[in-house]
């Protein structure tokens, strides 16, 4: 099972948007996916069409006693599952609801038991091919719990001076953390969001990032999308939204997912001699 955390030190760069875009691509591709909303702000929960008073256990409550909960039993279907994709039902997309209770775990600690709370919670989880975790905008205890439970960390950056510098510092923190606390973590990469192809400043920053991050910078870049807020506000998957602008964004999320997701190939049956 692949577990991808979507993270950044800087706020508002598009973590939730990337999480929702990847969830939409996975949903359209029929990959069975669980989204965990680890940000106390819980925007992903809203974007996936889950009511905040839904009768389901939120992630903050489960993190308090990670050995007592079986996560799969508390996952709720995203409202997106009622949407049809080209007249067909798309894949399974479930959500673990976010809540303000997660903020109780913001304090940074070096105690492994604390850092591993989410990893412990996910130990028994087998029902999904992919897990996406939306993180808060900080390198706090919550984000570190996500990293320790992940196989992949995807940093989100914008093509701007402060975002590039912040991403460089986040990679350094991530590398240190990976060595000490995250044995499952295999891939760390950065995706650039809100790219305007015609902008000279963006071209300059993209070239700078390529030099700085090398092959850790993913090929797929997410364009600035004029109706993105409208799509998110409607709690709708970008893959089902009409029009060319949404279709272009959906295609880049397909490419992004392709660059990240490694399907588990079932082992070939041993030949009988
Ligand atoms: N590619 C895009 N095109 C247009 N608007 C975008 C794009 N990505 C994000 N936005 C908008 O930018 C705002 C911030 O995005 P988002 O909430 O995804 O960031 P975030 O990193 O999750 O923020 P936070 O740090 O507060 O959790 C939102 O209003 C969102 O609609
Ligand atoms: Mg967010």
Please tell me whether residue 35 adopts helix, strand or coil conformation.
strand
Reported confidence tier of residue 267, pLDDT bands at 50, 70, 90:
low
Please work out whether the CB of residue 224 comes within 6 Å of at least one atom of ligand 1.
Answer: yes
What is the whole-number distance in angstroms between the Cα of residue 13 and the centre of ligand 2? Answer: 8
Distance, CA of 52 to CA of 70 (rounded, Å):
20
- The CA-atom distances, in angstroms, between 76 and each of 55, 93, 206, 214, 240 are 9, 9, 38, 39, 20
> Is residue 163 within 6 Å of ligand 1 at its C-beta?
no
Distance CA 77, CA 72 (A): 11
- Ligand found nearest the CA of 44: 2
Instruction: Tell whether ligand 1 has an atom less than 6 A from the beta carbon of residue 43.
Output: yes
- Give the ligand 1 atom nearest the CA of 12: 23
Q: What is the pLDDT of residues 23-44, one digit of tens each?
A: 999 999 999 999 999 999 999 9
Closest residue CA from atom 15 of ligand 1: 14
Locate 255 and state its tokens.
Answer: 């490419």
> What is the tens place of the pLDDT at every residue in 97-146?
999 999 999 999 999 999 999 999 999 898 999 999 999 999 999 999 99
Cα–Cα distance list, 156 to 11, 121, 137 (Å): 10, 25, 10
Where do the domains of the chain lie? 2-260
pLDDT at position 116 is 96
Supply the pLDDT for residue 124.
86
Residue 2 pLDDT greater than 80, yes or no: yes
Q: Which fold is adopted by the domain 2-260?
A: Rossmann fold (3.40.50)
| pLDDT, tens only, 204-235 | 999 999 999 999 999 999 999 999 999 999 99
In ligand 1, the atom with minimum distance to the C-alpha of 20 is 18
Q: Would you say residue 88 has pLDDT above 80?
A: no
pLDDT reading at 270 higher than 50: no
């Amino acid at each position: 099972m692949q577990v991808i955390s979507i993270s950044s030190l800087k706020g508002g760069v598009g973590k939730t948007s990337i999480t929702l875009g990847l969830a939409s691509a996975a949903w359209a591709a029929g990959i069975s996916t669980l989204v965990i909303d680890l940000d106390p702000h819980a925007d992903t929960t809203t974007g996936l069409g889950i009511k905040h008073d839904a009768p389901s256990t939120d992630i903050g409550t489960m993190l308090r006693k990670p050995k007592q909960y079986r996560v799969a039993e508390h996952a709720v279907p995203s409202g997106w599952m009622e949407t049809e994709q080209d007249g067909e039902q798309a894949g399974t997309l479930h959500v673990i609801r976010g809540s303000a209770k997660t903020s109780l775990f913001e304090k940074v600690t070096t105690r492994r038991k604390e850092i591993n709370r989410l990893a412990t919670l996910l130990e028994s989880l087998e029902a999904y091919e992919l897990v996406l975790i939306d993180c808060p905008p900080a390198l706090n205890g919550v984000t570190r719990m996500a990293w320790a439970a992940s196989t992949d960390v995807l940093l989100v950056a914008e093509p701007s001076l402060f975002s590039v510098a912040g991403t460089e510092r986040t990679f350094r923190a991530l590398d240190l953390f990976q060595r000490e606390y995250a044995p499952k973590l295999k891939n760390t990469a950065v995706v650039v969001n809100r790219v305007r192809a015609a902008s000279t400043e963006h071209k300059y920053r993209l070239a700078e990032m390529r030099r700085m991050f090398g092959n850790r910078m993913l090929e797929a870049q997410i364009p600035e999308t004029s109706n993105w807020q409208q799509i998110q506000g409607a709690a709708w998957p970008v893959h089902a939204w009409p029009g060319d602008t949404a279709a272009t964004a959906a295609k880049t999320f397909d490419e992004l997912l392709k660059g990240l997701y490694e399907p588990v190939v079932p082992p070939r049956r041993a030949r009988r001699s």
